[in-house]
Structure 1
Amino acid sequence: MSRIDAKFAQLRAEGKKAFVAYVMAGDPDYETGLKIVKGLPGAGVDIIELGMPFTDPMADGATIQLAGQRALEAGQNLEKTLQYARDLRKEDNTTPIVMMGYYNPIYSRGVDAFLVDAKEAGIDGLIIVDLPPEEDDELCIPAQKAGINFIRLATPTTDDKRLPTVLQNTSGFVYYVSVTGITGTAAAQAGDVGPEVARIKGQTDLPVIVGFGIKTPDAAEAIAKIADGAVVGSAIVEKIGAGESVDDVLAFVKSLAEGTHRG
């Protein structure tokens, strides 16, 4: 059983939904970013999404684009992002870590070498937004063979004809993108999302987690009531970008986690 599977089993037993927090590795700098990541489990985060900074983040809105730029300018790279996971694993061997980003840095490193390093570092899953199911042989299937979950995105435009293809090699959980467009823009509406989550759950036994457009504890609670959990990224990254202290960022994360866990 993977750490992701174990976490969902634990949450189910506790009658809770999953709170997933996204942060950009290396934002605003290596040390501050690492303090935030290490503080996430204690703030109630069930699964950590660790953003891999990349120069051309086409699925991301301004908030996460700027976070990536800050991280890159501070010298963050793929190796340093893997080091975050290694450092967290020294004190936490249960919280799942999912790396999220784009294929180019992994391709540049070499898929085989990356998967060996990621497994050794304690990475549990990958969300690679620019690799469609038609390219599963490229990374998805090798990752699964290496014991790393490959988590796929489903969107409002993923119709019933396309959905089985999206779900085919997905593992860990399904990430439902609640709005059409880029990160950090429109707000997620539970009334719109509920039927879509039900539609996806009709075709898979995997948990369905909802992200994009969730900015407040109340919004996280509303989404958690109709899904298996909520992801918050841009709202957290915005506070980091505004220069808020690590303690203040983690206090905000804690409020989001509490909202989700009420769902």
Structure 2
Amino acid sequence: MNGGTMTLGSLERHLRARRDAGRTLLMPYLTGGITPDWAAYLRAFAEAGADAIEVGLPFSDPTLDGATIQEASGAALARGASARRILADLAALGEPAVPLVASTYYNLVLRDGAEAFCAALRESGVTGLIVPDLPVDEAGELTDVAAAAGVDLALLASPATPGPRLAEIGRRSRGFVYAVSLMGTTGERATLAASANTTAERIKRGTDRPVLLGFGISTPEQAVAAARGADGVVIGAALMRQVLDGSRPDDVGAFLVKIRRALDEKT
């Protein structure tokens, strides 16, 4: 294994097993607390064939998020959502149907301290973490603390990441590597960025960890195109737009089923 001899976390074992069985991975995103019944969307996503679900912990200054996810975070914060409340909601749900991956900004980790933050994640049933504003050079402490709590810290790589740094991200990431399809923010787009598959392929040359491609994947056709270079895809803004526009869990789940079916037919 190119990532070293470190024992694999439960998230990475799960994703590897599915990938190695020939499945294209699908990780939808949901902003925690976006609606009063937001947990119903988690169930709908799992039933639609998600392999893991990314749960956003809203932050007031989401620098890497585009307009849709910013709007979703704003709606959740306006409802009184917080990291603690979202994690309490997840804990109340019991054992998740598929692995949960929390995503948030480093300020929220620093506020509680890495050990307390990661312990709270694990107690809520979360086994993965994405912190997009934490560079690989500064991720060592949080990676170790998260691993001790049973949480895999996944790192991001972009089209502009140079080769040596890309290899380091592949070695130090846990769970999977998050490939960013373009230089920009999240959000729905009419076409998949030309840099998407190139980025995923470059990452895969330096690691055997699962590589999931995100940012701007909005349709089943784009998901299939993205999966040509990656092991799976992350779908976020396209789903949150539907939630913000009033679509119910079953309706958003039905859209996700179309993506799942397209990925399965591709393989």
Single out whichever of 156-165 and 199-208 deviates more from structure 2: 156-165
Confirm whether residue 134 of structure 1 aligns to residue 137 of structure 2: yes
**Number of the residue aligned with 2:248:** 245
Matching residue's letter, 1:220: A
User: Counterpart of 2:172 in 1: which secondary structure?
Assistant: coil
Q: Residues 117-144 of structure 1, C-alpha deviation per residue, up to 9 Å, x if partnerless?
A: 2112111111001111221244222112
Offset, 1:242: 0.6
Q: 1:143 to 1:205 in 2, by over 3 A?
A: same
Residue 40 (structure 1) aligns with:
45
Identify if the C-alpha distance between structure 1 residues 187 and 212 changes in structure 2 by more than 3 Å, giving closer, same or farther.
farther
> How far did 1:186 drift?
4.4
Instruction: Report the counterpart of residue 179 of structure 1 in structure 2.
Output: 182
Contact 1:21–1:49 (Cα < 8 Å) also in 2: yes
- 1:11 equivalent to 2:18? Answer yes
Contact 1:179 1:187 in 2 (8 A): no
Partner of 1:211: 214
Partners of 1:4 and 1:187 in 2: CA distance: 31
Q: CA deviation at 1:179?
A: 1.1
TM-superposed deviation, 1:91 = 5.8
The CA distance in 1 between the partners of 2:120 and 2:236, in whole Å, is 25
Residues 91, 233 of structure 1: alpha-carbon distance in 2 compared, 3 angstrom cutoff:
closer
Structure 1 residue 12: Cα displacement: 3.2
Q: In 1, distance between residues paired with 2:20 and 2:231?
A: 13
Counterpart position of 1:78: 83
2:100 pairs with 1:97: yes
| Aligned-partner residue type, residue 265 of structure 2 | R
Letter in 2 for 1:50: V
Cα distance in 2 for partners of 1:140, 1:182 equals: 24
- Whether 1:260 aligns to 2:263 is yes
Structure 2: how far apart are the matches of 1:91 and 1:119?
Answer: 12
2:4 aligns with none
Over the matched positions of the two proteins, sequence identity in percent amounts to 36
Q: Is the contact between residue 15 and residue 175 of structure 2 (CA under 8 Å) also seen in structure 1?
A: no
Q: Which runs of 4+ in 1 moved over 3 A?
A: 87-91, 185-192
- Where in structure 1 are there 5+ consecutive unaligned residues? none
Q: Number of residue pairs matched?
A: 259
Contact preservation (8 Å) 1:18, 1:228:
yes
- Partners of 2:171 and 2:225 lie apart in 1 by 29
- The alpha-carbon deviation at position 98 of structure 1 amounts to 0.5
AA at the equivalent of 1:234 = A
TM-score calculated relative to the size of structure 2:
0.90
Deviation at 1:53, TM superposition (A): 0.4
The offset of 1:188, in angstroms, is: 5.7
Aligned CA-pair RMSD: 1.9
Gaps of 5+ in 2: 1-7
